[in-house]
Amino acid sequence: MMKFLDHLEEWMIALLMALATLITFTAVLHRYGSGVSALQPILAHINMSWAQELTIYLFVWMAKFGAAYGVRTGIHVGVDVLINRLSDKTRAKFIVFGLLAGALFTGIVGTLGANFVWEIAHTDQTSPDLEAPMWLVYLAIPSGSYLMCFRFLQVAWRFIRTGELPKHEHGHVDGLEGDEALDNLHPHDLKHGDKS
């Protein structure tokens, strides 16, 4: 189960991005093809007005899963100047507190979102162009928030056990091997002092 969950965000983001790209590409081809007199009789009866709305909804879902991915991989921006100046024991307490606060916040947002989705599911609200039930659109809020909550708890548990946080190498590109000294140019991350 954990092997599946460890790659859930990447699969969902890749799928949603591929769908959004394909839908946008198709809509653009339809728009320009409709201007060609030879293709106009064929394309005139095809309605693609829903494409933009669906693409927006796909990006909303992508953002929610991307936020959970950011927690799992450590790519969210954080201000840690003061925390890095604390002693190791005190710093660890603040890190655990921050992770648990993130889990609490995303858990609350997920619960409020789930209640909202439950209430809107009992109405007849539909999206303007797709005419899809709006609860499907808003389901991104509890889904992404609960996944983020899980990732915060997962990172906190790993930190308590090992003392390690997920770290994203900003200069690293998967599949591209190069000079190890250039992989991470941030001064805080240079472990061997001055290399000049």
**The three-state (H, E, C) secondary structure of 41-59, written as one string:** HHHCCCCCCCHHHHHHHHH
- pLDDT of 90: 92
User: Given this model, what pLDDT does residue 84 score?
Assistant: 83
Q: Which residues of the chain have pLDDT under 70?
A: 168-196
Give me the phi and psi of 170, to 5 degrees please. -65, -30
Q: Residue 28 has what pLDDT?
A: 95
Cα dihedral across residues 145, 14, 62, 74: positive or negative? positive
Q: Which two tokens stand for residue 115?
A: 């209640």
What's the pLDDT at 175?
63
For 2-58, what is each residue's pLDDT tens digit? 778 778 899 999 999 999 999 999 999 999 998 898 898 888 889 999 999 999 999
Distance CA 59, CA 41 (A): 32
The whole-angstrom separation of Cα 166 and Cα 80 is 15
Query: Do the beta carbons of residue 55 and residue 24 sit within 8 Å?
Result: yes
Residue 82's pLDDT is what?
85
Cβ neighbors of 81 (< 8 A, separation 6 or more) are none
Q: Phi and psi (nearest 5°) for 44?
A: -65, -35
Residues 110, 133: Cα–Cα separation, whole Å: 19
CA distances for 57 relative to 30, 51, 52, 130, 168, angstroms: 20, 10, 9, 11, 28
**DSSP 8-state symbol, 95:** H
Gap between the Cα atoms of 135 and 114, Å rounded:
10
